[in-house]
Structure 1
């Protein structure tokens, strides 16, 4: 073979070598670019995954912040509960999306920013409401103290009024003196023989009292025998004394004008009613016990 025939062959061989070398270089470059791009994509995916996890954490933190908000307003509590439900739903949605879904991640970031603004408004409202409630509580405490002071003053005045009324009642109480007991026979002659007495007369003087109420006064007489039995004619003969009704032996209405007044009351004796011994006579008026004496029959 001549040298001229080898020249094209050598050129063809060199071309093949060059082409092969270039192809090898291109493959190397393409391989390098592929692995580099894959590595970069992996890093990007990891970054987006971290971003998704961070976004989830921020939503969960926001949910806890909403849970910490407390108020006595039913309206605000209802609105807060709706926001909590919304955040919970968004957290569930974030868990379901792919980390590479950048558009969705951006949407949730915007939603997070919006929810934070809403929360700040609620914090301001709750703080204002708490301040108002605090002021109202202080005002209520002041009102309660004022009412308590008024109540104490009223009770004190009522006590003073009762004490004054008691003093007036004591001062206006009628009093008697010069009490005398006389047994009378059928001819109205005095006797101390129990078997001969047909009536008992009790006389006394009501003292002068300018504080006592004037007008008609019911005077009641109770006479007790030596055995403690009350002399009376009817179970219906009753008057009030110390919040209860008791029987009386005799009763009389007198006109009292504030000056001294002589009064006598009589008790008609039933046959065989009297016994020998010491008797007690008690006088009552205006619900008070105003006189007492003892006398003896033989």
Structure 2
């Protein structure tokens, strides 16, 4: 009986020992579980934070691309492709799990590469902008030089025009001793209208070494006291100040630059002449070189 009691006591002791060990193990496992759970939670929180930081850095990178602008179409096209690539990566980052550490590392490495690419574009665009500024500066200087040359050319043109005008004025023939009288059928002078067969207009061309020489046509226009132009044909025309006008009589004379006396004659038709004051105009080289009046009785 005593032996049986000892065995029961021994069994109970063994049970308590085993129970104690199991309890200790359970407690240990619980501690380990809660410890690992806490560590896992901290890791997840850290990875979530890393994912958020990574997303913000990619968004900052996208803003960096958005701020770039170039006048080069090829670079603009490449920038657009890089922007689209970054936007695609941002969307992909948002979809991955925070616990996917390997993929996050890949994104981190890709970010470093993309930053290098962005930096290279910044350098290229900065170089192009400096070149554009230099070209603008050179173009401005060229425009200023061109403007100065244009002004100088315009000034020279004005001087040339002024000189040409002076030469034209200097080369214009001058007349002196202008006079007119009527001639009868025998060539004798008369002031009486009913005896005048023709009108003689004479003048002296002064010496002019700058005037063109050679055969020159001299035109005479005679206007009656009533304002009617004396002429024989509507086809008797010459050009004056860009217009064709009629002449009463003309004569071709060889002029060599020396002083010369010239007379032009108008043959009057019967009953054409009337008493009063007549006006005579003489033209040569496209200019009116003489103007005076005379009377027939």
Q: Same fold (TM over 0.5)?
A: yes
Moved over 4 A (4+): none
CA offsets, 1:87-123, max 9 Å, x none?
1221122122111111111111111111111111111
Look up the match of 1:282: 281
Say yes or no: does 1:54 pair with 2:89: no
Q: Report deviation, 1:222.
A: 1.0
Look up the match of 1:145: 144
Map of 1:223-238 to 2, 5 A cutoff? 223-238=222-237
Structure 2 CA distance for aligned equivalents of residues 68 and 62 of structure 1: 10
Structure 2 CA distance for aligned equivalents of residues 69 and 188 of structure 1: 101
* Structure 1 runs not aligned, ≥5 long: none
Look up the match of 1:65: 64
Q: TM-score when scaled to structure 2?
A: 0.95
Question: RMSD across aligned C-alpha pairs, in angstroms?
Answer: 1.5
Structure 1 CA distance for aligned equivalents of residues 225 and 33 of structure 2: 136
Look up the match of 1:117: 116
CA offsets, 1:152-190, max 9 Å, x none?
111111111111111111111111111111112333332
Map of 1:11-26 to 2, 5 A cutoff? 11-26=10-25
Q: TM-score when scaled to structure 1?
A: 0.94
Structure 2 CA distance for aligned equivalents of residues 151 and 131 of structure 1: 29
Structure 1 CA distance for aligned equivalents of residues 31 and 273 of structure 2: 145
Say yes or no: does 1:264 pair with 2:266: no
| 190-199 or 81-90: bigger deviation | 190-199
Structure 1 CA distance for aligned equivalents of residues 171 and 29 of structure 2: 127
Structure 2 CA distance for aligned equivalents of residues 44 and 96 of structure 1: 19
Q: Report deviation, 1:53.
A: 1.4
| 259-268 or 21-30: bigger deviation | 21-30
Structure 2 CA distance for aligned equivalents of residues 233 and 104 of structure 1: 112
SS of equivalent residue, structure 1 residue 226? coil
Q: Report deviation, 1:247.
A: 1.4
Look up the match of 1:293: 292
Look up the match of 1:45: 44
Structure 2 CA distance for aligned equivalents of residues 26 and 219 of structure 1: 142
CA offsets, 1:62-105, max 9 Å, x none?
11111111111112112212211211221122122111111111
* Structure 2 runs not aligned, ≥5 long: none
CA offsets, 1:194-234, max 9 Å, x none?
34333211110001112222212111111112222222222
Look up the match of 2:3: 4
SS of equivalent residue, structure 2 residue 230? coil
CA offsets, 1:276-298, max 9 Å, x none?
22111011111111111101122
CA offsets, 1:38-65, max 9 Å, x none?
1211121111111111111111111111
Map of 1:190-269 to 2, 5 A cutoff? 190-269=189-268
